[in-house]
């Protein structure tokens, strides 16, 4: 598929984006740069002159999915550049797919662009004006992910992200705010703050102060949240590692500056398992904190992730986790069955839990969580919620309130006409284990 200098058509790159929201932001940055340089983004393999595959390497299943995606792009197109978390293991990728053109690790926009240049040169007159000021977004126009840092200083024993993505590197507060402001000016109504470790924001910058719109803010998550809260959009915090200073975010939620929603990955509740995972605090400490968060901000919605079947997890540990879920009344919880990841220190731990017990604990977790979620949602019936409309499915509008994050939580099904991006009031009329139903109130 050789290009000639005589061609007037802009070069066309296909893009496959896999993995988490952090990887999605990497994809957006690569696409923005490509578009800024005058490349066109092809919608099909056949239309593309080259395909970039942004991979995930977090779990074995994600690695398999990434390798399959690379294989498909090679079959359908033939010219493939690989990036993302799995790209960090270049030898694995090359062993499976020797025909790829290049491979880079995650968060490597410049390297990916260089590789694209080497195999598909940019046009001589970049179409700079084709790029909207907010860059290229893969999310709908009314919400966007805002990445505030990359990497992680923790060493959780089940995770290899720090070795894949490096130590914490926070973006300067002014740059984060400039991006956030551009997004809001382009029509984004909800910003989803993401990173590997949102609450650690600014540790590497020694919390140095920065000036934004004439006010001084420390490069620290509470100050950043306060600054974001001035933009007039919904601000939702994800991946908030449970440090003590997270308590400082709760008053901002109670005051309505940011959404009363915390995504805190507790991972477990048993002290023994948390220690083996190299995670902080115990279930009891976390319960005390949750109680005080809810006292100070009764509207708070808690989302969390947990791992069952971690090496050494006993039936007593698991029951402690179930009891924690019940007492903490975690509104939304995702559960993963532990699986070893190449290079993780947890692989050396003894006490592997047999697969059938992992499955059985996972099932019990999900049943318990569905009951808690159903109970929490039932309590909302009869109330009025502000809903951001996400779209229409099967002729019916659906959206989310402060209590639901996109893609990971349930939705509110609405009766009546509405369009994506609208903010409206809905009277909540029904619920099930995960979703709500509501009637649009005439404004």
| Minimum gap (Å) between residue 39 Cβ and ligand SF4 | 32
| Minimum gap (Å) between residue 277 Cβ and ligand SF4 | 8
* 198: helix, strand or coil: helix
Site string for ligand SF4, 155-174 (x = CB under 6 A): xx--x-xx------------
Among 64-72, 80-88, 152-160, 320-328, which window interacts with ligand SF4 (CB under 6 A)? 152-160
* Residue 382 burial (10 A CB sphere; 0-12, 13-18, 19+): exposed
- How far apart (Å, rounded) are the C-alpha atoms in residues 443 and 436? 21
Interior angle at CA 409, CA 20 and CA 54, nearest 5:
15
- The verdict on 152 binding ligand SF4 (CB under 6 A) reads yes
Site string for ligand SF4, 365-404 (x = CB under 6 A): ----------------------------------------
* 289: helix, strand or coil: helix
Site string for ligand SF4, 108-147 (x = CB under 6 A): ----------------------------------------
Integer-rounded Cα radius of gyration of the chain = 23
Q: Which is nearer to ligand SF4, 184 or 264 (CB)?
A: 264
A 10 A CB-CB count for 363 gives: 12
Among 149-157, 181-189, 351-359, 416-424, which window interacts with ligand SF4 (CB under 6 A)? 149-157
- How far apart (Å, rounded) are the C-alpha atoms in residues 131 and 219? 29
* Residue 370 burial (10 A CB sphere; 0-12, 13-18, 19+): middle
- Spatial neighbors of 123 by CB under 8 A, at least 6 apart, are 10, 11, 37, 38, 39
Site string for ligand SF4, 26-55 (x = CB under 6 A): ------------------------------
| Minimum gap (Å) between residue 279 Cβ and ligand SF4 | 7
Asked if 308 contacts 361 with a C-beta cutoff of 8 angstroms, the reply is yes
- How far apart (Å, rounded) are the C-alpha atoms in residues 131 and 135? 6
User: In this chain, which of 12, 97, 154, 275 binds ligand SF4, going by CB under 6 A?
Assistant: 154
Asked if 336 contacts 358 with a C-beta cutoff of 8 angstroms, the reply is no
Bridge partners (DSSP) listed for residue 320: none
Could you tell me which of 73, 69, 18, 13 has the C-alpha nearest to residue 43?
13
| Minimum gap (Å) between residue 303 Cβ and ligand SF4 | 15
Among 153-161, 212-220, 328-336, 397-405, which window interacts with ligand SF4 (CB under 6 A)? 153-161
Q: Please, where are the H alpha helices in 37-97?
A: 60-76, 90-96
Q: Which is nearer to ligand SF4, 27 or 196 (CB)?
A: 196
Q: Which is nearer to ligand SF4, 152 or 353 (CB)?
A: 152
| Minimum gap (Å) between residue 221 Cβ and ligand SF4 | 14
Among 151-159, 222-230, 367-375, 415-423, which window interacts with ligand SF4 (CB under 6 A)? 151-159
Residue 130 half-sphere exposure, CB side, CA atoms within 13 Å? 15
Site string for ligand SF4, 58-77 (x = CB under 6 A): --------------------
* Distance, CA of 76 to chain centre: 29
- How far apart (Å, rounded) are the C-alpha atoms in residues 276 and 47? 49
- Spatial neighbors of 3 by CB under 8 A, at least 6 apart, are 11, 49, 120, 121
Q: Which is nearer to ligand SF4, 302 or 426 (CB)?
A: 302
Site string for ligand SF4, 197-236 (x = CB under 6 A): x---------------------------------------
H or E element: which one contains 160?
none
Name the maximum alpha-carbon separation found in the chain: 71
| Minimum gap (Å) between residue 379 Cβ and ligand SF4 | 31
| Minimum gap (Å) between residue 398 Cβ and ligand SF4 | 31
Q: Which residues 240-259 are close enough to bind ligand SF4 by CB under 6 A?
A: 241
Q: Which is nearer to ligand SF4, 113 or 161 (CB)?
A: 161
| Minimum gap (Å) between residue 383 Cβ and ligand SF4 | 34
| Minimum gap (Å) between residue 126 Cβ and ligand SF4 | 36
Bridge partners (DSSP) listed for residue 193: 146, 237
Residues that bind ligand SF4 (CB under 6 A): 152, 154-156, 159, 161-162, 196-197, 241
């Amino acid at each position: 598929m050789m290009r000639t200098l005589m061609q007037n058509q802009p070069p066309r790159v296909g893009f496959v984006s896999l993995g988490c929201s952090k990887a999605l932001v990497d994809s957006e940055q690569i696409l923005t740069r490509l578009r800024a340089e005058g490349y066109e983004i092809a919608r099909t393999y056949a239309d593309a002159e080259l395909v970039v595959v942004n991979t995930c390497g977090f779990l074995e299943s994600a690695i398999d999915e990434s390798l399959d995606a690379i294989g498909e792009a090679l079959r359908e197109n033939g010219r493939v550049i690989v990036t993302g978390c799995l790209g960090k293991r270049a030898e694995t990728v090359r062993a499976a797919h020797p025909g790829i053109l290049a491979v880079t690790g995650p968060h490597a926009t410049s390297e990916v662009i260089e590789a694209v240049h080497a195999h598909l040169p940019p046009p001589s007159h970049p179409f700079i004006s084709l790029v909207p000021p907010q860059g290229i977004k893969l999310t709908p126009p009314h919400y966007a992910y805002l990445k505030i840092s990359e990497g992680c200083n923790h060493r959780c024993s089940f995770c290899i992200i720090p070795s894949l993505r490096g130590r914490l590197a926070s973006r300067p507060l002014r740059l984060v705010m400039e991006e956030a402001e551009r997004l809001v000016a382009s029509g984004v109504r909800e910003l989803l703050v993401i990173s590997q470790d949102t609450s650690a924001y600014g540790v590497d910058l020694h919390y140095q102060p920065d000036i934004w719109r004439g006010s001084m803010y420390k490069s620290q998550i509470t100050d950043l949240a306060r600054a974001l809260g001035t933009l007039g959009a919904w601000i939702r915090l994800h991946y908030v590692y449970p440090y003590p200073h997270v308590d400082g975010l709760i008053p901002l939620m109670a005051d309505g500056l940011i959404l009363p929603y915390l995504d805190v990955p507790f991972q477990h509740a048993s002290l023994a398992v948390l220690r083996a995972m190299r995670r902080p605090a115990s279930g009891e400490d976390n319960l005390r904190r949750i109680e005080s968060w809810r006292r100070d901000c009764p509207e708070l919605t808690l989302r969390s992730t947990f791992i069952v079947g971690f090496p050494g997890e006993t039936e007593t540990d698991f029951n402690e986790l179930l009891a924690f879920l019940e007492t903490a009344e975690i509104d939304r919880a995702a559960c993963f069955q532990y699986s070893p990841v190449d290079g993780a220190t947890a692989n050396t731990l003894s006490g592997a839990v047999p697969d059938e017990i992992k499955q059985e604990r996972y099932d019990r977790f999900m049943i318990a969580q569905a009951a808690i979620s159903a109970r929490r949602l039932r309590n909302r019936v009869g109330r009025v919620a502000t809903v951001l409309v996400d779209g229409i499915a099967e002729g019916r509008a659906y959206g989310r309130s402060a209590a639901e994050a996109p893609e990971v939580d349930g939705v509110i099904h609405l009766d009546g006409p509405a369009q994506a991006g609208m903010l409206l009031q809905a009277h909540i009329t029904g619920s099930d284990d995960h979703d709500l139903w509501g009637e649009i109130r005439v404004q």
